[in-house]
Structure formats: C-alpha cells, structure tokens
Amino acid sequence: MKKLLVIVLLAVLGFYTASTFFDIGFGSPHFVKGIDPVKDIYINQTVKSLNVPNAVTSIVVNFRGFDTLGEVTVLFLAVTVLGSVLYKKRHEVGERSVLFSASSVVTSGAKLIFPAIILLGAYVFIHGHLSPGGGFQGGVIIATGFLLMLLSYESYSVSHKALSIVESLAGITFAGVGLLGLLHGGSFLHNFLPTGVMNSLFSGGIIPIIYIAVGFKVAAELTGVIYTVLNEKGEGNE
Amino acid sequence: MNESLFSLLNYGVYGTAVILMLIGLYGALIKKSLLKIVIGLSVVDSGLNLLIVALGYYKGGTAPIFSPAYLAHPQLMVDPVPQALVLTAIVIGFGVTAVALALVIRLYRHHGTLNIDQIKNLKW
Amino acid sequence: MVGSPVLFIAIPLLAAFLIPLLGMIWKESVRIVPGLVLAYLLVLSVSLLQHVLAFGPIIEIIAGWKPPIGINLVFSPFSGFLVTLMLFLGLLVWAYSYRFKRNVEYEPALKYFLMLMMLITGSVGMTLTGDIFNMFVFIEITSISAYGLTSYYKERNSAEASFKYILLGSLASTFLLLAIMIIYSQLGTLNMADIATKMHLMKPGYKVASLIFFITALGIEAEIFPLNGWAPDAYAEAPGPVGAAFAGIVVKAAVYAVIRVIYTLFDLPGAYQFLIVIGIITMVIAETAAIRQEKLKRMLAYSSIGQMGLVLIAFGFGTKEGIYAALFIMFNHAIIKSLLFFSGSYLAYNSTEKNIADVSGMAKHLPLTSLLFALGAFAIIGLPPFAGFWSKLAVLTAAADSSLWLIIALVLAVSVVELVYYLRVVNRVYFFKKEEDMEPQKPTVNAMIVMLILGAIILLVGFYPDSVTGLLHKASSDLMDKSQYIQHVLSAR
C-alpha cells in the first residue's frame, strides 16, 4: 500500500519535473528574451578584469567566492559532526575495523604511486585558474592518495592533530584573505592583488591563493573523514 | 549531428537525470536497509547534478576555459554558471552523505542491525 | 559606518577555523571564544540596526561585484531585526550551556560549541543574504550543524531523530536546487532583487513549478505541515538549549526565507491565500497533537509548530498589520519558547524519559524555575498582562481588519487548546506530589541568570509593549515595500 502511494507520488513528481525541463529545452540558450543573463558578464569580465582563462574558477573563487567560503565551511562542519557522532572516550578506541592484509603487489605499488598522486593533486589545485580542475578536485585527489595508503598498510596512520592544524590554517587563510580584501578594496573577498599576465602561473590576484588554501583544506578534511570512519570498530552491540 | 537526432537528446539527457532522481527517491522511501536509504539519497544527488550541468550545455559549445583561439568567440562557450553551482552542490552532497553514514554506523553500533523495521523510534 | 554586515559571517567562520588551534594551547578557549564572538556580533548588530533605522538599509557587496553579478547582503530593518533577535538568543543559549556542559570532556565540548556557533551563523546568513543560491548554502550550513546537535547525546535515541531529519533535509535541498535552477534557466540570474524585477517575464507554468519546489523545500525547514515529521523527534532528543536554539533561531530563519520568497521573489496573488491555508492546517494539527503528548519536550515542539502556523497565517493576510502581527509573534515566540525549553529541561532533568508526569511537585524543590516555567506558559497562551497577549491581540486585529472572522474564531479556539495543555503541566508542577525521592538538579548560576533575563523581557514587553512595537512597525513596512528593496539592492555601489 505504502509502496503504491510512493510510486504514484514519484510518478507525479517525475512527470512534472521532466515536462518542465523538456519544455526548457536542451542545448540552446533558454533565457527569456530581452534580458542579459549574468553568465555573459561573467565570461567577459573573466578575461577583461581578472585575467584568468578558466571561467568556472573565476566564478567559484571570485564572483561567487562567498558561496565557496560557505561550501568549505560545510565540509569543515561535516568533519566536526562526523567526529561528534562517532566520538568515543579514549579507552574505547579500538583498532581499525577495515583490516585486510594487502598483497605485496598492492603495498609496493601503493608506495610507488603515492607521491605521484600527491604531486598530481598539488598540480591540479595550483593550476586551478589556468586549466580544468581546482582546489576541490586537487584536494580530493590528494585524499585518494591517503586512502590508498590506509587501505594498503594496516599500520599506516595519519595524525589527527596535524590534519586539524592544516585544516584550520587553510580556513584562516581563506577567511583572512577575504578580510584583507575588505580592508584594502572595500569589500569582502575583493581581488586586491595585481592580476598579472594571462595564462601565467602567478596571475589572477587572490584566486590562486584561495584555491591553494581550498586544496589543502579539502585534502585534510577528506582524509580526516576517511580516517575517522576507518577507525570505527563495527562490532555490533556494545 | 543532425537536428532531429539532437532534439531527441533533449529527452535523453533530462529524462536520464529525472529517472535517476526517481530511482534514488524510490530507494530512499521504500528500502528497509539504512545503507540503501543513504545510497538512494546520493543517487538523487547525482541525478540532480546531471540535470544542472545539462542545463548549461549549448549545442557545439566548448569548455568555459579561454584559449587564444577562442578569445574572440566567447559566445561559443557553454554556460559556466551551472558548472560552478554544481561544484558547490556536489561538495554539500558529500558532506550530508558523510554525516548520514556516520549516523548509520552509530545506529548499527547501538542496535546491531540496519533494518529500519527493527529499530523502533525510526518509524514516522 | 560602524562596521560591515559581512562581519556577521566572516568573524564566526574565522573563529570556527581558529578555535581548534586555540584549543590546543588553552582548552578553556573553546567555551569562551564562541561567546565573545556572539557578544561582539550582538553589539555590532544593535549598532547597525540603529544606523539602518536612521539612514535606510545597508547593502553589502561582496568581492567588489555589484548586484546582480556578485553576491550581496542586505541589512534592512526587517532582516536586521531578525538578526539581532537571533544573535541575542544565540548568546543566551551559549551562556546557558556554558556550565551545562561543564562536566563534558574536551573534544565533545569543542564540537558542541563549534556546531552551536555555526548553527547561529547559518541562520544569520540565511536572513542577510540577497542571493538565492547563497541562501541554499547557508541553509545547508544550518542543517548540517542541526543534524550534529540533534545527535549529540549518545544515551538517547538521538541518532534516530537525526537520521529522520537528514532524510527530510536532503530532500529539501534537492527541491531547493530544482527551484533555483528553474529560475536560473529562465532569467539567467540568481540575485533576489534582479529576479523580482524580471519575474513578470517568466511563463506562469515555470513560476508555479518553482514556487511549489521552493515551498516544499523551505517548508521542511520551517516545520510546515505535512513536512514537519522531523521536528518533534529532533526537539525531544537534542540537548535542552539546542531545542531553544531550534525554536528561536533556525525556524525563524526558515520562516524568513519562505516570506522573502513569497513576498519579494514572486508576484503570484494566490500565494497569500495558500499561506493562510497551510498556516491553518499546520496550526490546528500541531496544537491538537500537542495535547496528546506524554513527553514534555515533544509537547513544546508541537506547540512551537503551532505558533509557526499562526505566523504563516498572519503573513498570509498580506497587509502591513498582518506582517506586524507575525513579527510580533516571532519575537515573543523566540523569547518565551526559549524560556520554556530552558526551565523545562531543569524540571525534567533527572528523568530519562522526560515525561510530563516526571515534573510533578517540582515547585517545592525548584521554586524559581517553576515560577519562570509558569510565567512562560501563561505568556505563550496569551494571557494578559504578559508579552504573548499583545501579539495574539495584534493577530486578531489584523484578521478583523481583513474581515477574516473564521480565522479569529479558530485562533481563539486554538488558544483554549493551548490553555488546556500548558495548564496541565503547570498544574502538575504546583499541585501534584512528587513520586520519587530524588534530589532535583539545581540550575547553574548562568542558567538562572539567562532565565531571569528572559522572564524580565516577557514582563517588560507585557507591561510596556511600546518598547518593541516601534521597531516592529518599521520592520514590517520594510518588508511591504518591495520596490524600495529592489531599488536599494540594484543601485548599490
């Protein structure tokens, strides 16, 4: 009975949503006639005043940088909440729950590939304003490196303290750069540094600084999430 | 690609996205296992993200990254705004999923089961 | 100018990132710093509010891009009033829990105060922002902290309550994004004022679709029936002060979002009647459910939902008097319901079940707390001469002005129901015998001071309603004047 109700509800919802979006249309500009959408301004200003080739980065970090600050906070909060939900008193902490011995191929391969993963991640977030990618993507890549090490070596451990220091420093950098913008340019997150030459590494003003901070923060937070969950002893009833 | 084939894509892309969302919602509302409910929620997120990115696509558009050849033709770019928004949505979806999974772990620790029928107080 | 509205977001975030570092050096700082931050922000918001009342709204541009390109914050009399209220309550909740959590270890204390601060910051951000996608981000910040705070106590069934909340909360964010994307696909902008000017260009079909998704999404956060399944459990399982924070801060922000969307974004006349209808349904169902509750906090939660129904009805009148009444209820409800949660959690401190039966005879052991609880109960029912009376009177006058006689009858009938279930508790506290011989927990000094402040405000507003009405009038005319809002935002530099 409940199933039937849900199916009917979902059918109505699906039909309504789908027909709305079919009507909007795919593959062509769908804005109402007679307005100039903000995306044109974004694209033009990206080259003109920010000197950055990647329009998505310029939106994420500069035009809508405030959203990104909130987004980083959501991640920070998720780690905090995770720690609070799974908190145990010190004597209750057990060994890792996911314990399976990896073969020597995996362990030596992991050791070999780990630095390369970290390097790739760093490359992605340092070049976030020039090429596809950015702080979030680079941070996730670095976190996968730590995941690989945690899965291959039973004894591998990450210092919670170090993670939380990196996380805090990166967050302070983001918010601090924003506040510096308020002091220098009159508005929060104002791009107060010179924008440099397009397509060079040191260009775009505060954009690369913020994206590098985001990269560190995301890497630390995701590693923290993985580590907290891996250390969870899943033994049923206590 | 010819026109009639492309107009079918309209239904293909949006349809896939909406169907993904419906599958996820079905899983979240009907399934008895807590883990499947969480999986359902993240399937909904994926469908939604697909829908948003598809909204920004223009036929024949390029990635919204300027290269010297494209500097003169910004109108050839796809809409970058949905891509930026979807980045935020993905990160937020990740955060919510992580918290939900942590709760599932704690519920399992407490009750020794993942079946919502056996966990009282979880009924509406 | 004294300061900038962006500090309401930037300072708490900076502090949130800083606190784990400070905690490594000096453990006590995790308790003190959030309080300092909230106190500073309260001072800032009071001084900004005075500035705004004299010189008109402040539009804060972020990243140097003026609207509609960049994101902007709007500190108007309306949003400023709500922000001040939220920060005031937030400070009280902090002071109340400062010693309440004294015996807690370092890690959980750190997490509790971080989440509490972010809960308040998210709500403040929701109220201040002038951009719908930014609102979505702040809603998520608020709800993730709320999930964490709900599941804070391990001994209770809090994980279940939190899981329910998360299930509905993520549905809410899905619908919210759908609504935002429908609007973006048509108007190509995310700024609220810009959307409001272009709304008439949108096809009615899209308008209705996005409005439905908006109401569904925000209704989950604002506890509108039938989307409020999470609320009673979350209130009941969360720590006592957090219940007060939910009722006083989070729900206020969510209602603000609903109202901003309906009043400013959309120009559909039918939306007002819709508000009245869902308000009536929410109120009637919640109040009748409240009378059947066995647990004290669940009863308070249902009563809170009922009050929100009343707020929606008052907003649904669409007149200036209606908005004034709605704001007055929001103010009173925030103050009174916090007092009820604060004192109620001490009355039922020793019982694990927190049943209403467990508060029997508490008046002998905790006379002052019981007195304050009774004061709150009388005030929220709307008995003169307490604060709640004036707000109920304002609703009735506003309804009479719009000649909605049926609503007057309903509100009066519901007040009788409220009278019954609140008096049931007060009666138990004063005239029943205590069942077990357990030494009740005495309130800490901080908690007592906080409760006394709230009680004093209830009496003050009760005897001198003029102390707040001037501010409320200004705030309500600010919400009514949509064109001025648009003009202020779009001409910001």
Q: Of C331, C293, C291, give the one whose Cα is nearest residue C311.
A: C331
Residues B44 and C174: beta-carbon distance below 8 Å: yes
Q: What is the mean pLDDT of residues A24-52?
A: 83
Over residues C177-194, mean pLDDT: 92
pLDDT at C100: 62
Measured CA to CA, the distance from residue C41 to residue C46 in angstroms comes to 8
Name every residue in B having a CB less than 8 A away from some CB of C.
21, 25, 28, 34, 37, 41, 44-45, 48, 51-52, 55, 81-82, 85, 88-89, 92-93, 95-96, 99-100, 103-104, 106-107, 110, 119, 121-122, 124
pLDDT band at A236 (very low <50, low <70, confident <90, very high): very low
pLDDT for A235 = 44
Find out whether C353 and C475 touch, Cβ atoms under 8 Å: no
**Residue C23: pLDDT over 50:** yes
Lookup: tokens for C257: 């979002």
Is B121 domain-assigned? no
Q: What is the pLDDT of residue B2?
A: 66
Confidence at residue C437, expressed as pLDDT on a 0 to 100 scale: 62
Residue B68 falls within a domain, yes or no? no
Q: Where are the domains of chain A?
A: 31-230
Give chain A's mean pLDDT.
85
* Residue to test with chain C: of B122, B123, B124, most C Cβ within 10 A: B122
Whether B104 is in a domain gets the answer yes
- Residue pair C324/C291 in contact (Cβ under 8 Å)? The answer is no
The pLDDT value recorded for residue A238 is 35
CATH classification at residue B104: 1.10.287.3510
Residue C436 has pLDDT above 70, yes or no: no
Q: Does B124 fall in a domain? A: no
Average pLDDT over residues C352-374: 81
Domains in chain B, number = 1
Range in A30-44, C46-60, C352-366, C442-456 the model is least confident about = C352-366
Residues 12-51 of B with CB under 8 A from A: 13-15, 17-19, 21-22, 25-26, 29-30, 51
**pTM above 0.80?**
yes
pLDDT surpasses 90 at C456: yes
Q: Residue A234's pLDDT band (boundaries 50, 70, 90)?
A: very low
Q: Is this complex's ipTM strictly greater than 0.95?
A: no
Q: Which of A71, A87, A188 sits opposite C63 (nearest CB)?
A: A188
Please report the pLDDT score of residue C435 as a whole number.
66
Quick check: is B66 in a domain? no
> Measured between CB atoms, which of C160, C177, C184 is closest to B119?
C160
Partners of C295 in beta bridges: C355
Core vs surface per residue B75-109: b (16+ CB within 10 A) or e: eebbbbbbbbbbbbbbbbbbbbbbbbbbbbbbbbb
- State the smallest CA–CA distance between residue A20 and chain C in angstroms: 7
pLDDT of residue A98: 58
Q: Which of C358, C273, C331, C377 is nearest to C475 (CA)?
A: C331
C158 burial via Cβ count (<10 Å: 0-12, 13-18, 19+): buried
Contacts of B19 (CB under 8 A, 6+ apart): A14, B47
Amino acid at A202: F
Measured in angstroms, the CA of B84 and the nearest CA of chain A are apart by: 6
**B69 in contact with A, Cβ within 8 Å:** no
Question: Does B46 fall in a domain?
Answer: yes
Q: How far does C108 lie from chain A, in Å, by closest CA?
A: 6
Q: Which of C449, C23, B69, C10 has the alpha carbon at shortest distance from A65?
A: C10
Interchain CB distance below 8 Å, C17 and A167: yes
Looking up tokens 């008046």 gives C363
For residue A24, name the pLDDT band (cuts at 50, 70, 90). confident
Residue ranges of chain B with pLDDT lower than 50? none
C453–B contact, CB cutoff 8 A: no
Residue C442 DSSP symbol: P
Q: How far apart are the C-alpha atoms of C161 and C151, rounded to whole Å?
A: 7
What is the reported pLDDT for C47? Answer: 92
Structure tokens at C342: 């604060």
Higher-confidence position of A234 and C417: C417
Most confident stretch, A3-7, A92-96, B55-59: A3-7
In the predicted structure, residue C230 carries a pLDDT above the cut 60: yes
Mean pLDDT of chain C: 88
Q: Which chains touch A (3 or more CB pairs under 8 A)?
A: B, C
- Residues A31-59: what's their mean pLDDT? 85
Q: Residue B48: what pLDDT?
A: 94
Note whether residue B31 is domain-resident: yes
Peptide bond into C440 cis (omega under 30): no
Give me the helices (H) in chain A, please.
2-24, 38-48, 55-57, 65-85, 104-126, 135-152, 160-184, 207-230
Give A232's contacts in chain B (Cβ within 8 Å).
105
Output phi, psi for C402, to 5 deg. -90, 10
- The answer to whether residue B118 is domain-embedded is no
Q: How far apart are CA A165 and CA A78, in angstroms?
A: 16
Rounded (10°) angle between helices C132-150 and A65-85 = 10
On the question of pLDDT at C303 being above 70, the answer is yes
Average pLDDT over residues A97-118: 85
> What pLDDT is stored for residue A70 in this prediction?
92
pLDDT band of residue C140 (cuts 50, 70, 90) is very high
Query: Taking CA atoms, what residue in C is nearest to B45?
Result: C174
C233-284 pLDDT tens trace? 888 888 888 989 999 899 999 999 998 888 888 877 788 888 899 899 999 9
Which residues in chain B are contacts of A56 at CB distance < 8 A?
Answer: 64-65, 80, 83-84, 87
Point out the least confidently predicted range of A99-108, A169-178, C389-398. Answer: A99-108
Question: Number of residue pairs across B and C with CB atoms under 8 Å?
Answer: 78
**Phi/psi at C61 (nearest 5 deg)?**
-95, 140
Distance CA(A210)–CA(A208), nearest Å, equals: 5
Determine the structural domain holding residue B90 and report its residue range: 3-59+76-111
Give the end-to-end CA distance of chain C in Å, rounded to a whole number.
15
pLDDT band at A201 (very low <50, low <70, confident <90, very high): confident
Question: From the candidates B10, B21, B86, which should be mutated to test the interface with A, based on the most A CB atoms within 10 A?
Answer: B10
- Give the B window 72-101 contacts with A, CB below 8 Å: 74, 77, 79-81, 83-84, 87-88, 90-92, 94-96, 98-99, 101
pLDDT at A167 over 50: yes
Query: Which pLDDT belongs to residue C265?
Result: 87
User: CB-based contacts of C282: which residues, under 8 Å, 6+ apart?
Assistant: C223, C224, C225, C228, C305, C306, C308, C309, C312
